[in-house]
Amino acid sequence: MAATAFLVAKGRSEHHALSPGDREQDTQPIPPNSGPLDARYFDTEANRKVVYHVQRVPFGMGVSYGAGVVSGLLGVGGGFIKVPAMTLVMGVPIKVAAATSNFMIGVTAVSSFLVYLGRGEVHPAATTPLILGTIVGGLVGTRLHVHIGDRRVQLILAAILVFATLQMILRTLGVGVG
Amino acid sequence: MADRLRRERRRFIQALMRASLTLSAALMTVGLVIWSSSNQATARAVTLDRLFSTLDTGNRLMLAGIALLAITPALRVLALLVLWVRERAWRFAATSTIWVANRFWSSLATCMSIIHAPSLWKLEASHIAGSPFL
């Protein structure tokens, strides 16, 4: 995880920018040699359209499988594996990777929700305040996300990975970290 | 033409996601307020039998909000599936169909196993006697 944090902090997205344009006038064509999974978005912070080429999709599937195993085994979200993998290997810009990872986690949650409901382990009154807090935090995060540069998002992710790494090491060593 | 479709698709999905998120947050907030004012000392787990019978209004609303939030990503894929079929984008439509079918069958299998093999879930058969699944 620490190595991933280093790579994320060091890495630069391989997408390239097109000429600045109006967000609503989405008229800049995707290059003719683009693949079916290539896409673009308007980066408000950089004031430009960004086109990116998704690469190595089979590798991404393998990493997602690994993230699922780790997630089920350790009870942690797989985002800390999927986001660096998408950014570093598949050529997805970090903002798109963060949004995609959130979406994937949401999809996985549907199955888990049914399983936990079937086992009688869902406490709505205990869960609801946490979810409402997460929704508010998520809305704030997505607003910030638009105005923060890719580089800064990468550094934030790297810092969180380092923190999670230290926390897991300390927990493994039996040092209380809350 | 393609850009116009893309813009319309994006706006529709944005509106759908916003509506779903707002409704689920509203359900959970109202449910939490009702539950808090009903003098229940502790949060209790919800089991399938209580879900359809003795569950109080507050818990029922909160659970509806949680369920709506949980299925929101699936709603997005379903909406995109319809739009892609309309746009004749068959490759994306096929991928979405496979995904939707996979989610549907896995969810159905989970529900069926809860009902027909309650021991797997450490539930007594009497717990699900009132379930409308039966």
The 3-state secondary structure of chain A reads CHHHHHHHHHCCCCCEECCCCCCCCCCCCCCCCCCCCCEEEEECCCCEEEEECCCCHHHHHHHHHHHHHHHHHHCCCCHHHHHHHHHHCCCCCHHHHHHHHHHHHHHHHHHHHHHHHHCCCECHHHHHHHHHHHHHHHHHHHHHHHHCCHHHHHHHHHHHHHHHHHHHHHHHCCCCCC
CB proximity list for B66: less than 8 A, separation 6 or greater:
A113, A122, A124, A127, A128, A131, B24, B28
Q: How confident is the model at residue B31 (pLDDT cuts 50, 70, 90)?
A: very high
Predicted confidence (pLDDT) at residue B22 exceeds the cutoff of 90:
yes
Rounded to a whole number of angstroms, the distance from the CA of A130 to the nearest CA of chain B is 11
Predicted confidence (pLDDT) at residue B23 exceeds the cutoff of 90:
yes
Q: Token digits for A32?
A: 């003719």
Query: B107 touching A, CB under 8 A?
Result: yes
What's chain B's Rg over C-alpha atoms?
19
Rounded to a whole number of angstroms, the distance from the CA of B72 to the nearest CA of chain A is 8
Q: Token digits for B36?
A: 């808090």
For residues A85 and B9, give the distance between their C-alpha atoms in angstroms, rounded to a whole number.
Answer: 28
β-bridge mates for residue A122, sequence order: B46
Tell me the residue length of chain A: 178
Q: Which helix (H) or strand (E) holds B126?
A: none
For residues A178 and A175, give the distance between their C-alpha atoms in angstroms, rounded to a whole number.
Answer: 9
Which residues of A touch chain B, with CB atoms under 8 Å apart? Answer: 24, 26-27, 36, 103, 106-107, 109-111, 113-115, 117-129, 131-132, 135
Across the interface, whether the CB atoms of B111 and A114 are under 8 A apart is answered yes
Q: Which helix (H) or strand (E) holds B59?
A: helix B57-86
Predicted confidence (pLDDT) at residue B133 exceeds the cutoff of 70:
no
pLDDT of residue A27: 45
pLDDT of residue B89: 81
Residues of chain B contacting A124 with CB distance shorter than 8 Å:
31, 35, 43, 46, 59, 62-63, 66
Q: Which amino acid is at A80?
A: F
Residues of chain A contacting B109 with CB distance shorter than 8 Å:
none
Q: How confident is the model at residue A172 (pLDDT cuts 50, 70, 90)?
A: confident
Phi-psi region of A47 (alpha: psi -120 to 50; beta: other; left: phi over 0): left
Mutate to test the interface with A, among B9, B47, B123 (most CBs of A within 10 A): B47
Across the interface, whether the CB atoms of B63 and A111 are under 8 A apart is answered no
Predicted confidence (pLDDT) at residue A134 exceeds the cutoff of 90:
no
- pLDDT-above-90 percentage for chain A: 3
**pLDDT tens, A22-45?**
444 444 445 545 566 677 777 777
Residues of chain A contacting B74 with CB distance shorter than 8 Å:
107, 110
Q: Which three-class secondary structure state does DSSP give residue B46?
A: strand
Query: Taking all residues of chain A, what is their mean pLDDT, rounded to a whole number?
Result: 73
Question: pTM above the 0.95 mark?
Answer: no
